[in-house]
Structure 1
Amino acid sequence: MADTLTDMKVDRALIDPNFDGYKLSLDAIPVYTSNIEFDLDEVKLTSGQYSLQHLKAFGIHNHLFQDPWATNTVYFVNSRWDIVKFVANNASSLNKGEPVLRLPDADQQRSKSGRHNVSLHFPSPDVLTVADGAGRLYVVRTGDRKLDQEWKVVFRHEIEGQNFQVVHSLLSAEGCHMLEVALLYVEERDMAFEEAQEIKGGDFVSVLEWLTLTFAAETNVWELTRVRRLEGKSAPDFLTLEQHGRGMIVGSEKHFTFVYDSVKPVDKAEVKESARAKGEDKKAPAYTWFQSMEDLTVHFTLPENTNKKDLDAALSHNYIKIRLQSQVLLEGNFQQNIDIEGSAWYIEGRRLELQLCKKDPAMWSAVVSGDDRGEMVVDPATAQEIHQRLEHLTSDTLNADPDRSEKPFNSQQLEECDTFPEETSAMLRFDGDTHQSTHLVDLSSHQWLFNTALHSDQMPAVCLRHDVDGLLWQPKANYEKKECPLLHIGTFNALGYVQASKRDKKFAGCSPDLTFAVLCDCVRHVFVYRQPEATLSPLRNRKTGREVGAVAKQQVISLDSTDPVMGLAISTDKIFVLTAKILHVIKVKET
């Protein structure tokens, strides 16, 4: 089945073209705190988890988990591997948290090398899915969590050799109880050299493990009935499962494809044809190179355990040939002559670096004539030089002399997030049975801002930047073949522009009723951006003279802690901020 390319339809009624910006409010906001009895369980990436996939999937972990069926209840995992519960119905009286479950085999699992942080997800009012980050998935029967019933592990599943996190799960109770769970892990592939050259992204692959569990009423146990697997070259920005395992929606920079299904074998020919249609089978460059007027540098990626004895290099003033055993890496005539005495090559790890000294200063269009397998990149030194030469064009201060020859721009006019991405980001909807992507939404011009769960009975929503605004999109439960599966449900004015200016931002989100958005720095500061509220009497803009009937307020909360922020959760009237030793509860609205 071919992709249906659909466009996101913006609801113009939710856009305010006359938005005047946020006004800083100095109104006091009460902040309540509760000390944590034991430290958080925190795991950082190891030296072997260095890929971009690792960093994106596991580098920034939200340690605070909110119960969508009781949004004033949050959970975290402490250093003893206890799941600790906090209830903040009355923010002014907080307890120290109540341990509700200690994860099985805590001492053994915590000691595993390369493990990730524990992740939780609540698919129903009485079920919890837990990934311990050390290769095990648990299904926990919690009972009614509002009544503080005993929690009990009723199912466990282990993926040997893989440390994963749970990304999403949902429970369907129509006909029979089925639990759909999506897991994420990054796998290193020991690929041959030829494969490594063909697969862009290196030896690491992001894997989505899609599990289907069925509750057997006669035996009163959960059984694993289906395993599906998707792979991609980047970690997903957004993921949600559809009811009854009909499909999965994935948003990522590089597209995912089905590779395995335990019930219905994947037709690899169809998958390959689908990938070819999307342009994903384009080969990676055989080498990368950069140059200056005086020299040129070439980089090759080599197989593991390659040494100089495996390489054979012949170099003259106008010709080069480099062989790796029986494979030719580079051969041909240079565009111009080189200085042999000033040229050299060496191996560092898996990288072969070739340094060529040009005899005459010039810029080359290729390393060797007629070879287009390489990709020219920008030399870091050259990029720094260009930056210094253009530095006078930007300014963080007001222009005191606008008539001078070098006129500066406002630095906020050109932002890093405004650059066109190298890879085309997209939101794809995969059919759970045919393994094909049925809908494709192009996100190349829309920066991802954050994901949020607004309602317990709906799929998670995603906030994307459109121009300067942040638009919230909710996946639809039902849609036609040619219809976009995303529905525009809300707008946060200028949030895309505001977030781009927050260099220390760590977490972002919004309230379930969409009345305010939150940006949280790595340390101490929390920024609240409220939707415009009607004023008691009309105001007038002094610059434009236009009458203003509503004002959007910005508030800044400084936490009484210098510890790094470890987690963020938001309800309709409260913001929960977790640091290493303290849970902060910010009461932003009176209920």
Structure 2
Amino acid sequence: MDESGDRAITDDSMADSRVEQVDAASLLQQKRCCEVELPVRRDLLDAQFQGYKLSLEELPSLRIATLAGAVGSEWGASQAQELTSLQHFRAFAVINGLSIDPWSAAAGDHFAVYYFNQQRQLVCHFVPSQPQASLPANSAGQIVGSFSDNATVESTATDAVPLCGSVQFADAQHCVVTNGRGRLFVHTGARHTQTGQEWTWGPVVDYVCPESCLLQTARTVVSGGAVSIHLVVLYVGKQASKDASRFVTVLEWIVLQAVGSSWKTQRVRRLEGTSAPHYIAVEPPGDGLSLVGEGIFKIVFDSQRVVTDTATPADEVMEEQPPVDHAGLGKRSCFNTGLAAPDDMPSSFGPDDLEECDSFADETYNAAWMRFDGSTEAVSHRADLSGRQLLFTATVSPDQMPVMCIRYDVDGLVYQPIPPEAGSEKVPWEHIATFNALGYVVASKQEKKFAVCSTALRFACVCDGNRNVYLYRNEVPVGEQSVLKNRKTGQTISHVARQHVLTLNDAELPIVGLAATQQAVVILKKNALTLIYL
């Protein structure tokens, strides 16, 4: 059994990974769940794809100054001395500081983008959806919430290092914010009136996260006329064990209900794992939680019921390993498997001779998609994603869970998770689109920082840390007015996929956020928002 996905690395042993034996009962539970395979629609694959043609077309753009400087992943980088484990680094080192309200993007000629500035204020800009649309009155930005230390709504939750705030949109009427210091706030009401006034925020009065946290997802659920908000926060805490130097990644699945102008927790469920998940979403009915992560996650706490962990002897779930034939192993095999090479084996080369491709250090090597059932708190479905790179996630429709783009050979396959029906064995995934050769493209971008796609799945966008933005558009017909031929073969090309390479100004400033709508890409730097229209 592969245990390399369950590890905790502290600052004292960052160079030497310590592999921890996973919980036997959790492994047995996941073995009993429904194992599913990723479906692949062959009609969405193009074996004859000819690649992307570099376009020199000048795309329309718009540049808007930020208010008091935007923050994002560089905030986490500034706290590097306080990030004491690999788990902290994976959770907080790269934070996309830009959010688009998906309900505003589908509302008309303008959409709303949000970010936190250096004064811990939530800033909103209304920007045109199309290049020919006029600028709205508040395109320069407005402050819709203040969460600084001297604000009246602020209450310091913890002595931990504060993170930048994060925002999620539960529906068209509810917006949830965490201030980065463990407190949660909810805004109720219309967000698209463009009044220019600061919003009213109702605090969650009975919840304080024990550590600095990030808000991962939020969704409104209506059941029997009652409205509740399901949300998930992520933090890294100390492991409750004899070895207090170890850390554990924690996800808290919280259900909120309104009490007057404030909010209270109705239910809290806590999951623990070995690394920050790459994807997490609450199902629209609120019946389940889907996540893509490395190693094992399990529910360890529920405020409404006692969580029991069936005591299962380890030998009942540990697969018996055959004896290792050291004589049949090369020195390289011993390095890759973690086995100690026999003393009499010739030392042809050492660890310094290994190349990057010889390592299993990729974060998705032991990744899996898991669905936790909200009623049984067990893993109901699981899909192995070992070796498959998760390229990006995106919200295509606000009423559905975010989609995932997963590398398949050289392509990027877009999957839409679907809540499973009771008693149905149908795979709760749907392959809805393909970005040709995107897996190959992303693998070649060694400096990649963020990646997104349009809500219409018309194009994908990749950016590096400072200045370059790469756009990859799906194939479109060449048109009746022109003829395009392959110079070598003479074959007439009827469809062409185009690539755009854009260079941003202020190359010394990092890109702190990236998002996309149906026709626009939005890039956030500390000093400016840049919109590119396609």
TM-score, normalised relative to structure 1? 0.72
Find the counterpart in structure 2 of residue 502 from structure 1.
445
1:229 CA displacement: 0.7
CA contact (8 A) 1:180 1:244 kept: no
Find the counterpart in structure 2 of residue 524 from structure 1.
467
CA contact (8 A) 2:372 2:381 kept: yes
| Deviation string, structure 1 residues 475-518 (Cα, Å, up to 9, x no partner) | 11344542221111110000000000001111001000000000
Q: Which of 117, 124, 137 in structure 1 is aligned with 2:171? A: 124
Find the counterpart in structure 1 of residue 283 from structure 2.
242
CA contact (8 A) 1:420 1:444 kept: no
Query: Is 1:100 the equivalent of 2:140?
Result: no
| Deviation string, structure 1 residues 176-233 (Cα, Å, up to 9, x no partner) | 101101111111226325xx8xxxxx711111101111235xx565331111011111
Structure 2 Cα separation of the partners of residues 448 and 427 of structure 1: 11
1:40 CA displacement: 2.4
Structure 2 Cα separation of the partners of residues 512 and 504 of structure 1: 24
Find the counterpart in structure 2 of residue 322 from structure 1.
none
Q: Secondary structure at the match of 1:172?
A: strand
Q: Which of 20, 37, 45 in structure 2 is aligned with 1:7? A: 37
Find the counterpart in structure 1 of residue 353 from structure 2.
385
1:523 CA displacement: 0.8
| Deviation string, structure 1 residues 244-278 (Cα, Å, up to 9, x no partner) | 431101111112011011112112117x68x9887
Find the counterpart in structure 2 of residue 443 from structure 1.
385
The 1:21/1:160 distance shift into structure 2, 3 A limit, reads closer
1:117 CA displacement: 1.6
1:81 CA displacement: 1.7
Listed as ranges, the matches of 1:222-371 within 5 Å are: 222-269=263-310, 362-363=344-345
The 1:421/1:242 distance shift into structure 2, 3 A limit, reads closer
Structure 1 Cα separation of the partners of residues 93 and 166 of structure 2: 13
Find the counterpart in structure 2 of residue 82 from structure 1.
121
**Greater CA radius of gyration, 1 or 2?**
1
Query: Is 1:64 the equivalent of 2:98?
Result: yes
Query: Is 1:587 the equivalent of 2:528?
Result: no
1:382 CA displacement: 2.8
Find the counterpart in structure 2 of residue 183 from structure 1.
233
The 1:160/1:185 distance shift into structure 2, 3 A limit, reads closer
Q: Secondary structure at the match of 1:124?
A: coil
Find the counterpart in structure 2 of residue 493 from structure 1.
436
Structure 2 Cα separation of the partners of residues 81 and 28 of structure 1: 36
Mind listing any 5+ residue stretches in structure 2 that lack a counterpart?
1-28, 106-110, 322-330, 332-337
Query: Is 1:46 the equivalent of 2:96?
Result: no
Find the counterpart in structure 1 of residue 246 from structure 2.
203
| Deviation string, structure 1 residues 280-328 (Cα, Å, up to 9, x no partner) | 9x9xxxxxxxxx9xxxxxx9xxxxxxxxxxxxxxxxxxxxxxxxxxxxx
Query: Is 1:153 the equivalent of 2:198?
Result: no
Give the percent of matched residue pairs that are identical in Structure 1 and Structure 2: 33
1:581 CA displacement: 0.8
Count, aligned residues: 465
One-letter code aligned to 1:73: A
Structure 2 Cα separation of the partners of residues 421 and 77 of structure 1: 28
Structure 1 Cα separation of the partners of residues 123 and 306 of structure 2: 41
1:161 CA displacement: 3.0
Q: CA RMSD for the aligned pairs? A: 3.3
The 1:567/1:220 distance shift into structure 2, 3 A limit, reads closer
Structure 1 Cα separation of the partners of residues 315 and 364 of structure 2: 18
Structure 2 Cα separation of the partners of residues 425 and 276 of structure 1: 24
The 1:421/1:458 distance shift into structure 2, 3 A limit, reads closer
Structure 2 Cα separation of the partners of residues 278 and 11 of structure 1: 35
The 1:416/1:55 distance shift into structure 2, 3 A limit, reads farther
Higher strand share: 1
| Deviation string, structure 1 residues 357-401 (Cα, Å, up to 9, x no partner) | xxxxx5499xxxxxxxxxxxxx9x9333345xxxxxxxxxxxxxx
One-letter code aligned to 1:33: R
1:147 CA displacement: 4.4
